[in-house]
Structure 1
Amino acid sequence: MDSKRFLFVSADAALITDLAWQVHREGHDVKYYIEAESDREIGDGFVPKTDDWGAEVEWADVIVFDDVWVGSDVGTGELARELRDQGKAVVGGTPNTDRLEEDRGYAMDVLEEHDVNTIEHHVFHDFDEGIRHVQEHPAPYVIKPLGEVQNVKRLLYVGNDDDGSDVVDVLKAYKKAWGHRMKGFQLQRKVEGVEVAICGFFNGEEFIDEVNFNFEHKKLFPGNIGPSTGEMGTSMFWAGQNKLFKETFGKLEAWFAEEGYVGSVDLNCIVNESGIYPLEFTPRFGYPTIALQEESIESSTGEFFADLAHGIDPQVRVHNGYQIAVRVVLPPFPFDDEKTYDENSRNAAVVFETESRDGIHLEDAKKVDGQWRVAGNNGMPIVVTGKGDTMQAAREQAYDRIDDIVMPNMYYRDDIGERWIDGDGDRLQAWGYLGPSSS
């Protein structure tokens, strides 16, 4: 493919740096815009930047949005729709697909309207009403905040008590501590099983044949212990449009086509022998999922996204095996503490003991005089990936690469991918979800 001009837009925090870097390294012209002032230095030395993305629209062949947020408001879907109406090729959402993430009740309505199975769920805008519901219908529940505050990942709570008493206690605490910000929340019945995310790539008209299946590791510590984070690591593989896909996105394809959505859309589910139970949508790139998907796309990444944006069915080649990504972080992640960050992490050097940068992906990093350094305020400088014919081989490659990195005070989970080895893969196979595709 001839070189294309790509404009990457972070209308809030800088998230898409690694994809911009990958496309730039493939020989395409790239310009990257970051709205958040605290993140402006992220990607410096790796990708060309612009201070005014609107001024670059006419220059760009492809425009890529990285999230649904414009500052503290949902809104990139509206921007993407306006640009498409002007004839531009855009990777991004629509107002309704943005709403899938912002409004969990709406997301469940869309699923139900298209005959996709759902878990019992209720949306509340009053804490006392939610507490009464649990007391009157005792069971384990999951608390999912709605709106802007849902980005505070530690507020998601998965109940353990059969009578829901721990959920009642947490809601009472949230009312005191977060009542001024948490304008609503969803209570979702807890279902036991294997948690798996189905990720499809949509070109405005249909899903491509290759489907990505990934497994998130959100807790801070190994063993799924500690506070929730955005993500500490991901394991994944690619397959065809199997039963997991057909019973979820297969029923939603016409809805996404009517919207004209373009890009990655992820549906996190709980699966057991009784059925598939969707939990939540991510109608955008996932992080660090996109870095791992880049690693496993063995054809041109830039060509893949350019084809998607132009409504073409991409001829993409993906790794036929397993992949894992490990987020390597620094204090005070996942919390905000400026003093701790200044003392331990700000501008810290990322030192490599080998010349190879295979499997090393950018998050909050910059390059100064050839030296990789930590950037931004979040303490998430890099993601390290690995792949192999087995999940264990992918794990070994990723963790061998981490062993060659030196950053004082760095930490990471050392169990990414173990759930698959310890039985998740066998269970999904036994329940009939990973059989041959029809594609």
Structure 2
Amino acid sequence: MTPKNKLRSKQPDSKNFLFVSRYGESLDIAFAVQNEGHKVRMYIEESGCREIGLGFIKRTTNWEKHTDWADIIVFDYTGYGEESKALKDSGKLVFGGNTYTDNLELDRNFGQEELKRHGIKILPSREFQTFEEAIQFIRKHPDCYVMKPSGETQELKQLLFVGQDDEGADVIRILQAYERSWGNDFGTFQLQKKVKGVEISVSGYFNGKDFIKPLNITFEHKKLFPKELGVSTGEMGSSMFWTKDSPIFDATLAKFTPTLREHGFIGHIDLNCIVNGNGIYPLEFTSRFGFPQVFIQRAGINEEFGQFLLKVARGENFTINVKKGFQVGAFIVVPPFPYEDKKTFRLFSKDAVVVFKKDKKEGVHPMHVKRINNEWLITGDTGIAVLVTGTGVTMKDAQRMMQNRISNVIVNNGYYRTDIGDRWHEDSDRLWSWGLL
């Protein structure tokens, strides 16, 4: 036993963490918590993702059997609201959402109505059940629209379409194509009027009573290629910083404090917005960990993440110890990302090795990988290999650290965006001019 392991085994504050995951996304968090000296078990719901974490942490196929063992249960995704509430009601320490916050994210129409109910200005939007109904609506009300899937279909991020045509002709063509390929199996979706501005999200950790400061401001990079070209992926990377105060937070999430308190929410919540000189326009909630947001956040938090989660779940009021400056992170992905194609994944990416030129893994976060003979092998079925982060007093410093770390990683057929954080120079000028920083 190494001295490090001896120290770990004697830690008096060691707790039992049970991570309940939809797709295995929280592997990096669970692995970090384990390295801090806690005992960790992880459940992954999706069968195609259950190899994720093999060799990193102990996994289970039935999380309910381990609730008595766990000192804290962490839900990393929406859809577990009822289970989370039942566990909290039984006296268990839980970090995760509830049915109210689940609905904020999964039911786009409900989320928009709740924003309106809290006195927050929203963009005109409408929900549809069929493609033909939406096509006829656009023809009667020509404008530039964003088409957003709702419910479970919204997990397929490449289906989201941001229109460019002022008459909505491009959205009509997309809807017609989806009708031919999906038929009646698409589910509900939303058309939202498009506005120009800076896309920015504000998020915070809520301890059941209040938001814990500082807040997090994130700039997502969703397109596959640099300069925001290509298909929407959900995310290729993010840049961010922490702040004690935010005009965007004051105008939006802060107004939800009494409601979140009423529902006993304990967890992380994010509101993505478009802002410009005319105002702040909320787009959508993420009422759970954001991915890769939480991993980049962790790179900027100067305290053990396990203790941090415990303090939030216990309802403690404290100030998060964070780094000054900026944090950035980029995914390294492999085929067929961002699409689902099991044959392509098996041919080009399954069990491919993540190679480190030098044995330095700091800032390299395991995503959909397993560990065999101390080698990181790509698994799952989506093609997300690792996330690489960097921090710095300036955005350029953070980018430089991230790029240096990426240069130490070799992933066969891997690709990533080289411009994460580049928008900050222009976006910051505009945000300052609008009084939003």
Between the aligned partners of 1:346 and 1:154, the Cα distance in structure 2 is 22
Aligned to 2:379: 375
Which one-letter code corresponds to 1:432 in the other structure? G
Aligned to 2:6: none
Correspondence for 1:256 among 248, 256, 260:
260
Between the aligned partners of 2:141 and 2:257, the Cα distance in structure 1 is 35
Aligned to 1:72: none
Q: Aligned runs of 1:8-407 on 2, under 5 Å? A: 8-10=19-21, 12-68=22-78, 75-407=79-411
Aligned to 2:430: 427
Q: Does the aligned pair in 1 maintain the 2:222–2:234 contact within 8 Å?
A: yes
Between the aligned partners of 1:242 and 1:230, the Cα distance in structure 2 is 25
Aligned to 2:3: none
Q: Secondary structure at the match of 2:13?
A: coil
Using the size of structure 2 for normalisation, the TM-score is 0.95
Using the size of structure 1 for normalisation, the TM-score is 0.95
How much does 1:101 deviate?
Answer: 1.2
Aligned to 2:9: none
Q: Secondary structure at the match of 2:211?
A: coil
Which one-letter code corresponds to 1:119 in the other structure? L
Aligned to 2:8: none
Between the aligned partners of 1:408 and 1:314, the Cα distance in structure 2 is 44
Q: Does the aligned pair in 1 maintain the 2:15–2:38 contact within 8 Å?
A: yes
Q: Secondary structure at the match of 1:264?
A: strand
Q: Does the aligned pair in 1 maintain the 2:370–2:376 contact within 8 Å?
A: yes
Identity percentage of aligned residues: 45
Which one-letter code corresponds to 1:431 in the other structure? W
Between the aligned partners of 1:238 and 1:110, the Cα distance in structure 2 is 26
Structure 2: tracts of 5 or more residues without a match? 1-11
Give runs of ≥4 in structure 1 deviating > 6 Å: none
Between the aligned partners of 1:174 and 1:38, the Cα distance in structure 2 is 25
Q: CA RMSD in A?
A: 1.2
Structure 1: tracts of 5 or more residues without a match? 69-74, 435-439
Q: Secondary structure at the match of 1:381?
A: strand
Q: Secondary structure at the match of 1:418?
A: coil
Q: Secondary structure at the match of 1:216?
A: strand
**How many residues are aligned here?**
426
How much does 1:136 deviate?
Answer: 1.6
Which one-letter code corresponds to 1:7 in the other structure? L
